[in-house]
Amino acid sequence: MTKQKLLSKIPSVDELVKNPRGEKWLKRHPRRTVLKAIRTVLDAKRKEILKQGLAGELPIDQISSDIGKEISRLAAYRLKPLINASGVVIHTNLGRAVLSDKAKENMLHVAGSYSNLEYELSQGKRGKRYSHIKDIIKELSGAEDALVVNNNAAAVLICLNTFAKDMEVIVSRGELVEIGGSFRIPEIMESSGAILREVGTTNKTHLSDYENAVSGNIALLLKVHQSNYKLLGFTEEVSIKELVKLGRTYMIPVMTDLGSGCMIDLRQYGIYDEPAVQDVVRSGADIVTFSGDKLLGGPQCGIILGKKKFIQKVQENPLLRAVRVDKLTLAALEATFMQYLDEERACKEIPTLNMLTQPLENIKRRARRISSALKKGISGLADVAVISDRSRAGGGSLPEADFPTFVVSIRPHKISLNALERKLRNTDPPVIARIKDDALLVDARTLRDREVRTLVNCIISALS
């Protein structure tokens, strides 16, 4: 059949919409989506015919099937849940912290109706949105006051703008960090209107370096936690306590950016060099900032806490409205913090903490369960084994810490590792794993027990 005849046999958009299958599409999906899918498939078919022709008759049934698939693709949400088998617990590209069930429940509870977001029920008048979260943060941290903005970069920005606009801020050269996504302390400082005053060297900064830089134009002493890297060897840094003492001497407030922010002492789980928020508050820092969606295990936000007089000044900054949080963030954050009232339960119920602190034996048991199910389902399509490996915290947290873990090693027989990894990224739900030493590794640390069956089905489907 000639190309011209094939083109003439392509059904019109109107014909496809009015046939029984088209009517079913319109019942389930918006007309706009259906028409877009039809036009996309028909245009592709025309281009195919013009380029290379077709052997035999025009496959009308195949065209209808392709339209159905295109409708499904267009109707699917772009932001979707997936299975993190990478072994990176706080994976920035995968949304960082997974919310606890209680946080999700409270978000849904608040989202489905009106709320007292800015309404004081006891007095029947306008209230402040931050009042819902302030008391629980104060109780857990020991701080005098607290505030929440939409992320930690915003927290640092608004604090610098509040206290140091057009004035100098002293920072050690070894703490001019870049977290990622262009979050660099010098650039945040410039955007805030503050002036950077570097002291010390990359590897060594002494208390005298800070003191020698003190002048009448110094507004803040800033301490930045090295949350995503570590200086080793011939190094020295000034502690928060020393900096606070210096600040008191010269009447200069001290601000500490913790970055990740952790509410429990991780040393009991073999994780060191991550200061607990409470310890920093006890050290006397006037202002402390950290993220909500890293080690805390909550929603994305920036938490500011410290001395009451400083937090109140931040609240008076007009920028606060531009960086304020919404009711869903507050609902999730309040539920997350309330779980910290019982630290043992928090480590079990907050996914980030659970993944970091769970016993190695639990991870091994989960890996064996996955391996056993795969061996039964793939019929010799791959070699499967449970082996030891290392997981990472991720998210710019715990730079030196990697954790012993157990992974399921998969070596496919009929497809390449890259093809398997690509197919897993396109399953429903997508599965994110990693390739290492000529095998695809599925890390059981970042998997939850309720995901195992779905994960196994996705892998079997990708191998088949």
**pLDDT of 269 higher than 60:** yes
Over range 209-227, report the average pLDDT: 89
Helices (H), 327-413: 327-339, 343-349, 351-357, 360-377
pLDDT one-digit tens code per residue, 401-457: 688 999 999 999 999 999 999 999 999 999 999 999 999 999 999 999 999 999 999
pLDDT at 139: 97
The pairing of beta strand 287-291 with beta strand 254-259: parallel
Over range 88-96, report the average pLDDT: 93
Cα separation, 287 vs 156, in Å, equals 10
The model's pTM is: 0.90
Over range 191-217, report the average pLDDT: 90
pLDDT at 266: 84
**pLDDT of 236 higher than 90:** no
Cα separation, 378 vs 387, in Å, equals 19
Q: Please tell me whether residues 50 and 114 are part of one structural domain.
A: no
> What's the CATH number where 446 sits?
3.90.1150.180
* 95 in any annotated domain: no
Q: Please tell me whether residues 280 and 331 are part of one structural domain.
A: yes
Cα separation, 367 vs 375, in Å, equals 12
What are the residues facing 184 on neighbouring strands? Answer: 178
Cα separation, 337 vs 324, in Å, equals 18
Q: 229 lies in which domain range?
A: 100-347
Over range 313-334, report the average pLDDT: 97
Measured CA distances, 212 to 207, 209, 215 (Å): 9, 5, 8
Cα separation, 323 vs 314, in Å, equals 12
**pLDDT of 235 higher than 80:** no
Domain boundary among 288, 322, 347: 347
Helices (H), 182-250: 185-192, 207-213, 240-250
* 222 in any annotated domain: yes
pLDDT-derived band at 274 (thresholds 50, 70, 90) equals: confident
Q: Please tell me whether residues 229 and 105 are part of one structural domain.
A: yes
Cα separation, 181 vs 15, in Å, equals 49
> What's the CATH number where 335 sits?
3.40.640.10
Q: Please tell me whether residues 110 and 35 are part of one structural domain.
A: no
Helices (H), 76-178: 101-111, 131-141, 152-164
Angle at Cα 91 formed by Cα 87 and Cα 92, nearest 5°? 165
Q: Please report, as a single letter, which amino acid is at residue 181.
A: G
pLDDT at 396: 64
Over range 75-100, report the average pLDDT: 95
Tally of domains in the chain: 3
